[in-house]
Chains A and B, each alone.
Chain A
Amino acid sequence: MSTTFTKSMARNIFYGGSVFFFLLFIALTVDTTYALPKRDNSQNLTPSVERGKKVWEVNNCIGCHTLLGEGAYFAPELGNVYVRRGPEFIKAWIKAQPTGAPGRRQMPNFHLTDEELDDLVNFLKYTSEINTNKWPPNIEG
């Protein structure tokens, strides 16, 4: 009897504990949602930036690069590339791919239009202005 009771106590603690922490997580999420506008640079979320995010996604840039440290580790961090290289370099670089350098990691040419390039650059600028608590540690990302 005692053994069964112990298992059901463990089960009750499981249900109670999970609900407890889930509720706490929701509370923190609500607070985060209210706190975001001061940090997420959403005042600069223009239609161009939105389009730029789409360009970023449909070309799967995250498949090689990281953005704010998340993604693939094959190519450089791009969350701060706007600050590191500037808009003109970024556009020229993308247009010039692939480099064809033997043995070097290759980036495809995505045949982006000028508008798409501008949108993408605006997206990267917007990203670089998000308050990331001073990450990355330096310009190299």
Chain B
Amino acid sequence: MNSQSAVMVYEPQAVQAVSREEGLPGDFAIWIFIFAEMLAFGVLFVAYAFTRAGNVELFNASQQTLSQTAGAINTLVLITSSYFVVRGVAAIKRGLSEQCAWWLSGAVLLGGVFVAIKLVEFHAKFAAGISLSTNAFYMFYLALTFFHFMHVLMGMIILGCVIAKARRGGYSARDHVGVETGASFWHMVDLLWIILFPLVYVIR
């Protein structure tokens, strides 16, 4: 036991030095999951593309019923929130916990805007009697956007935890792996939407 803690006292600085000079930001474990996420979404996107190729007219017709305006606003909202997250990470790199927390809170707020708009969209579809079983397009539309929607919620929770810890002074200029990890997840969520929006809402 004693020798183990002795090892652990010396290790952290070595590991941190590595992550600052090279390697991926945040903890390596999160990147395994980000990889898995990209894999899952990637396959879904490809599946959408293939199915669309076999049902072009159906997909075009159903796609008309989507609100491109809502989608476009949501894209802006997420991109802006990612910018806020970038500012938040920059702040903690300079040891400014309070500022970091404010930037991240802004990002979460924008996330909330995204969620609200999406809920309005979903409600409109369900009220019109559309569900996963209506047709292939709606299956993909609802499945993809709902799956993404849940990731946005998850991202908001993760950022919420980071904000709470930042407010408590849990991060410093030297030690803020959690902030970078949460940021990476949020950027992934944003990136997925940037692919999803044109693919599902726009491309005919």
Given known A1-B12, A35-B131, contact A20–B29 (CB-CB < 8 A): no
Whether A17 and B28, one on each chain, are in contact in the complex, defined by CB atoms closer than 8 angstroms, is: no
Given known A9-B29, A13-B29, A16-B158, contact A24–B150 (CB-CB < 8 A): yes
**In angstroms, how far is the closest chain A Cβ from the Cβ of B164?**
13
A31 within 8 A of B: yes
Given known A2-B16, A20-B150, contact A13–B33 (CB-CB < 8 A): yes
CB-CB nearest in chain B for A19: B154
A28 proximity list for chain B (CB < 8 A) = 132
Interface residues in B145-163 by Cβ distance below 8 A to A read 146-147, 150, 154, 157-158
CB-CB nearest in chain B for A38: B133
**In angstroms, how far is the closest chain A Cβ from the Cβ of B67?**
22
What 1/0 mask marks residues of chain A from 1 to 18 whose CB sits below 8 Å from any chain B CB? 111111001100100110
**In angstroms, how far is the closest chain B Cβ from the Cβ of A121?**
31
For this complex, into which size category does the number of interface residues on chain A fall? 20 to 34
B202 within 8 A of A: no
Within 8 Å by CB of B131, from A3, A6, A17, A31, lies A31
Given known A16-B154, A24-B150, A31-B132, contact A5–B33 (CB-CB < 8 A): no
Given known A4-B8, A31-B131, contact A20–B177 (CB-CB < 8 A): no
**In angstroms, how far is the closest chain B Cβ from the Cβ of A84?**
29
Interface centre among A4, A5, A17, by most chain B C-beta atoms within 10 angstroms, is A5
B97 within 8 A of A: no
A23 proximity list for chain B (CB < 8 A) = 150
A5 proximity list for chain B (CB < 8 A) = 27, 177-178
CB-CB nearest in chain B for A4: B8
Within 8 Å by CB of A20, from B12, B16, B154, B181, lies B154
B11 proximity list for chain A (CB < 8 A) = 1-3
A31 proximity list for chain B (CB < 8 A) = 131-133
Whether A35 and B154, one on each chain, are in contact in the complex, defined by CB atoms closer than 8 angstroms, is: no
CB-CB nearest in chain A for B158: A16
Whether A34 and B33, one on each chain, are in contact in the complex, defined by CB atoms closer than 8 angstroms, is: no
- CA of A38 to CA of B15, assembled, Å: 58
Interface residues in B130-180 by Cβ distance below 8 A to A read 131-133, 146-147, 150, 154, 157-158, 177-178
A9-B29, A16-B157, A16-B158 given; name 8 further pairs at CB < 8 Å: A3-B8, A6-B29, A10-B29, A13-B33, A24-B150, A35-B131, A35-B132, A35-B133
Report A's interface with B, CB cutoff 8 A: 1-6, 9-10, 13, 16-17, 20, 23-24, 27-28, 31, 34-35, 38
